[in-house]
Amino acid sequence: MLQNKTALVTGSTSGIGLGIAKALAKQGANLILNGFGDYAAAKAEVEAAGAAFGIKVGYSGADMSKPADIEAMMREATTAFGGVDILVNNAGIQYVSPVESFPAEKWDAVIAINLSSAFHTTRLAIPAMRAKNWGRIINIASAHGLVASANKTAYVAAKHGIVGLTKSVALEVATTGITVNAICPGWVLTPLVQKQIDDRAANEKITVEQATKDLLGEKEPSLQFTTTEQLGELAVFMCSPAADNIRGVAWAADGGWTAQ
Ligand code: NAD
């Protein structure tokens, strides 16, 4: 049960972030949502998930590539919710290209959104967590935080980076009630992955069904997508007392991808 806790989930208007926000809301946590697109629909889903507890749901449109936006979001979280108890660094983008033709501005955007944003939210969230001697920081890395694929240099660098950030911060707060861990999903069928499937179908002149099968078959021994609900439950576990001494792990939820 997470009543009287406030969770901030970056990039929670869609996909994995929305799934985690709903799972935390179901446990009674208040939620601060963030991300682009239809935030009203996401807010309604999260409010419904937490209806039994009458949770409070806020929203910040902060752009995770902009440190000043992140600072403003964290200040608003303190004013409106008294700080962040559970920080889920989830916002992320993908860009696929061989390194020789990888646009420099795409590199900068992937590193800023997928990695540097987590540094900024973390440094700003920890003082209030230390004061309460309780906190959870959950970084959504990827199987690509543990192993690489070609043509995803910025993403793989950012995800390996966030696994390193996770371990380092976990050590800094190891004697406190704050834990810091990473979740490393394999394929999850969200808009971020649907685009890669659609691009693959178009490039290879195959059906979307075939492209989906090929995508899973190439990397994921289970031949199944991890679901946003499963990742939400994993995040809930990481917030539970059973996980009080789980610190600095990069927990794969990848159908066996990184066991190979
Ligand atoms: P998604 O595209 O469905 O959602 C991404 C979210 O991030 C959206 O809410 C979007 O608005 C938000 N976002 C993007 N740029 C932003 C910015 N500059 N500022 C604020 N918010 C921004 O993607 P997803 O698949 O749910 O991915 C979520 C996270 O999970 C990412 O970090 C991704 O790398 C990671 N991940 C995804 C998969 C997968 O298979 N889908 C696998 C492993 C890891």
Q: How confident is the model at residue 179 (pLDDT cuts 50, 70, 90)?
A: very high
Q: Is the CB of 145 under 6 A from ligand 1?
A: no
Q: Is 36 in the pocket of ligand 1 (CB under 6 A)?
A: yes
Q: Which atom of ligand 1 is nearest to the CA of 226?
A: 40
Specify the ligand 1 atom closest to the Cα of 12: 9
Q: Predicted confidence band at 215 (pLDDT cuts at 50, 70, 90)?
A: very high
Active site residues: 155
Check: CB of residue 69 under 8 Å from CB of residue 42.
Answer: no
| No. of helices (H) and no. of strands (E), the chain | 9, 7
HEC secondary structure over 79-148: HHHCCCCEEEECCCCCCCCCHHHCCHHHHHHHHHHHHHHHHHHHHHHHHHHHHHCCEEEEEECCHHHCCC
Confidence of residue 242 (pLDDT cuts 50, 70, 90): very high
What whole-number distance in Å separates Cα of residue 123 and Cα of residue 243?
22
For residue 88, which of 252, 253, 244, 231 has the smallest C-alpha distance? 231
Instruction: Give 94-145 pLDDT, tens digit per residue.
Output: 999 999 999 999 999 999 999 999 999 999 999 999 999 999 999 999 999 9
Query: Which residue has its alpha carbon closest to ligand 1 atom 31?
Result: 92
CA-nearest residue for atom 12, ligand 1, is 11
pTM, two decimals, is: 0.98
| Cβ-contact 153, 104 below 8 angstroms | no
Whether residue 196 has its Cβ less than 6 Å from ligand 1? no
Instruction: Sort strands 30-34 and 6-9 into parallel, antiparallel or unpaired.
Output: parallel
Q: Please, which pLDDT band fits residue 157 given cuts at 50, 70 and 90?
A: very high
Please report the domains of the chain, with CATH numbers, ordered by start residue. 6-188+227-259 (3.40.50.720)
What would the mean pLDDT of 244-258 be, rounded to a whole number?
Answer: 98
Q: Is the CB of 188 under 6 A from ligand 1?
A: yes
pLDDT of residue 98: 98
Which residue did the predictor score with more confidence, 151 or 1?
151
CB 238 within 8 A of CB 230: no
Return d(Cα 179, Cα 177) in angstroms, integer. Answer: 6
Does the CB atom of residue 192 touch ligand 1 within 6 A?
A: yes
Q: What is the pLDDT of residue 33?
A: 98
Share of the chain above pLDDT 70, in %: 100
